[in-house]
Amino acid sequence: MTKEEIIRPENLVCGKPTLMNDAPMHYCPGCSHGVVHKIIAEVIEEMQMEEKTVGICPVGCAVFAYRYLDVDWQEAAHGRAPAVATAIKRLWPDRLVFTYQGDGDLACIGACETIHALNRGEKITVIFINNAIYGMTGGQMAPTTLVGMKTATCPYGRDVNLHGYPLNMTDLAVNLEGTAYVTRQSVHTVAAIRKAKRAIRKAFENSINGIGSNMVEIVSTCSAGWKTSPVKANKWMEENMFKYYHLGDLKDVGKLKD
């Protein structure tokens, strides 16, 4: 087969969603962010919500998400994305409003906004990229950093006596009455990507249908922050992260309590 034949539309097994533009991504090789961007773009397109979507990007490595996905975006101050999303969704009730946040953004500086938006049952989706580290600022300890894991600010490993315990925000979200769908996924294999995409689709549909707030955690890699290669990062994630952050749907109620 020639290259021309291979890229004929009928021979393509997957393509780039049209919502994704050609701007070169700033993410490191093997970073989970890019994969999640792509599946979000696919879901918005499949739902035909292009003209009704507003994304809220965080302060963190995804700060430039608006450069890659051609929908309207607001970049929130560090941690405040759920508050920004709350207002937009309440003021534009038929819009698909989602936040896209890292673990430092969501579980640390923005923990208050995250819990309250979810608990109010804001009809939004929170996409939570948990790479257990502060990627953007160069690999410092995050609230989600595993016990014993080494980062720039816990170079001898996270010590519970010094740094306290990892914060599992998604498990916490399950117990909030405002959440309808809470799930934890990953994007390290094709099968996992397919599952994560189905989860995002379900969360987005809930948001549009006014069913509570929805949280999709993606257990992610940060090879740069973890100071390892992309392949080894995937393996490390499977062996260590999944033990603490269990994959799967954690909550799925069709309707909130009155």
Residues that bind Mg ion (CB under 5 A): 102-103, 131, 135
- Residue nearest to ligand TPP as judged by C-beta position: 102
Which residue from 217, 253, 199 is spatially nearest to 99, judged by alpha carbons? 217
CA dist., res. 31 & res. 230, Å (int): 7
Which residue from 202, 201, 241 is spatially nearest to 220, judged by alpha carbons? 241
Count the site residues for ligand TPP by CB under 6 A: 19
Which residue from 229, 141, 119, 127 is spatially nearest to 184, judged by alpha carbons? 127
Measured N-to-C along each axis, helices 111-119 and 81-91 cross at an angle, to the nearest 10 degrees, of 30
Q: How many CA atoms lie within 13 A of 57 on its CB side?
A: 20
Give the residue with the Cβ less far from another protein, 86 or 207: 86
Tell me how far, at minimum, the Cβ of 5 lies from ligand TPP, in Å: 39
**Residue 92 found at the interface with another protein (CB under 8 A):** yes
Sign of CA dihedral 37, 18, 44, 113: positive
Among 25, 47, 64, 192, indicate the residue that binds another protein (CB under 8 A): 64
Tell me how far, at minimum, the Cβ of 107 lies from ligand SF4, in Å: 15
Q: Interacting stretch for ligand TPP, rule CB under 6 A, among 22-30, 131-139, 147-155, 229-237?
A: 131-139
Strands 140-141 and 133-134: antiparallel
Among 41, 61, 62, 85, indicate the residue that binds another protein (CB under 8 A): 85
Tell me how far, at minimum, the Cβ of 4 lies from another protein, in Å: 30
Q: Interacting stretch for ligand TPP, rule CB under 6 A, among 53-61, 112-120, 183-191, 192-200?
A: 53-61
Binding region for ligand SF4 (CB under 6 A): 27-28, 31, 33, 61, 131, 135-136, 222-225
Tell me how far, at minimum, the Cβ of 62 lies from Mg ion, in Å: 9
Measured N-to-C along each axis, helices 190-208 and 32-46 cross at an angle, to the nearest 10 degrees, of 50
